[in-house]
Structures are given as structure tokens and as C-alpha cells.
Amino acid sequence: MPLSFFCILELPKTGISSSMRNWHTFLFFVLLGVKVHGQIDCNSAFIQDTMSLPDGSKVLEGKFVITTLKDFSTVTLFRTNQDKFYLRFVVKKNFYFDKVDVLEIRSGSKSYYVKNTRQYKIDKTTGLFVVEIFSNYISTLKDEGITSLYFANAETDFTKKDALQIKQISNCFYELISTKNKH
């Protein structure tokens, strides 16, 4: 909505006290903020950029969409120009820096396993996983989101809101893949 919409908004003055009018205006903006914050615009969600694989082997070009979770971890879905798909997790707990193990990505009752996954150290309070995924798993992500990660005998649970955010970006990502495959 254009900014001018918000500037000219005025409730009728008849029959409503000043404090009641202020309360209604406050409530309007709170509800508007919740609605805007809770939805992702798929058309503007994607960013064209590069992503370096943490082992230094490649720099990939493509598009990505990202969401920030409650604990300030991030989940990124990346599509290369060569139609390969990656999930990138920046995690804020359960650190096993430089350990190589199986990463289990849990989506409800379904799991996606990635062997020989390394958790890289960004700093002392932040770890990184980058894994290649198959396109059919994106369908699971759009339906279920991600409910937890399991690595090195430690589980990192995501909140329901986190899973919903991941479902939303996955739905946008799935639409991008489906659109390109139809052409």
C-alpha cells in the first residue's frame, strides 16, 4: 500500500472519544503489521547472487530465498543456474565444528539424510551446514517445513512458527522450480 494511504487514515470523530480513536488506530497498525510480517511475497522473495561452498571447491551462481528463525538461525534454499538445489543452515546451537556425520533433516514424520556432512564454524556461537538436496524433497518442505535437525547425536528442534516460515519459503521455491520446468 502506498504511504499516502496511511497518512490520510482518519477515523470519524463523531461518537468516538480521543482515547478510543487512538486505540483503534493502534490496533489497526498492529493487525496490519502482523498480516504483512506473516506473509511472503514470492515475486520479490528471491535474490540473484552467488554462494560459496564452505569447502572452497566452488562458487555457485543462482537464486535464493532465506528465512530467519526464532533463535536467529537462518535457512536458505538456493537454486543454481545449473538446476542444482542446496539447503544452507546457519545454526545457533548444538555445535560440533568440523565434525563429519550424517545430517538428518526432519520434516514431520519424514526424514532426509545427507551422509558425510560437515558442520563448519563461522564463529564460536554459529555453525554452518550446506547440503545438496533433490528437487522432490522441496515438495516435502513445502508441505511439512522442517521440524528438527539431527546431527552427531544432538537434535535441534524448530518451533511451529519456524516450520511454518520454512514451509512458506519452500512453497515459493517450489513454484519457481515448477514454473521453470514448464517452459
| pLDDT for the residue numbered 178 | 82
| pLDDT for the residue numbered 85 | 96
Residues with pLDDT less than 70, the chain: 1-40, 180-183
| pLDDT for the residue numbered 121 | 94
pLDDT, one tens digit per residue, over 47-85 is 899 999 998 889 999 999 999 999 999 999 999 999 999
| pLDDT for the residue numbered 15 | 54
Amino acid occupying residue 3: L
Q: How is the chain split into domains, by residue range?
A: 3-38, 42-182
| pLDDT for the residue numbered 18 | 54
Residues 6+ away with beta carbon under 8 Å from 70: 159, 161, 162
CA–CA distances in Å: residue 11 to residues 4, 7, 29, 139 = 15, 12, 13, 45
pTM of the model: 0.74
Q: What CA–CA distance (Å, rounded) separates 10 from 149?
A: 48
- Residue 5 corresponds to which cell in the numbers above? 494511504
The architecture in CATH of the region 42-182 reads Sandwich (2.60)
Residue 101: other Cβ atoms inside 10 A: 17
| pLDDT for the residue numbered 172 | 92
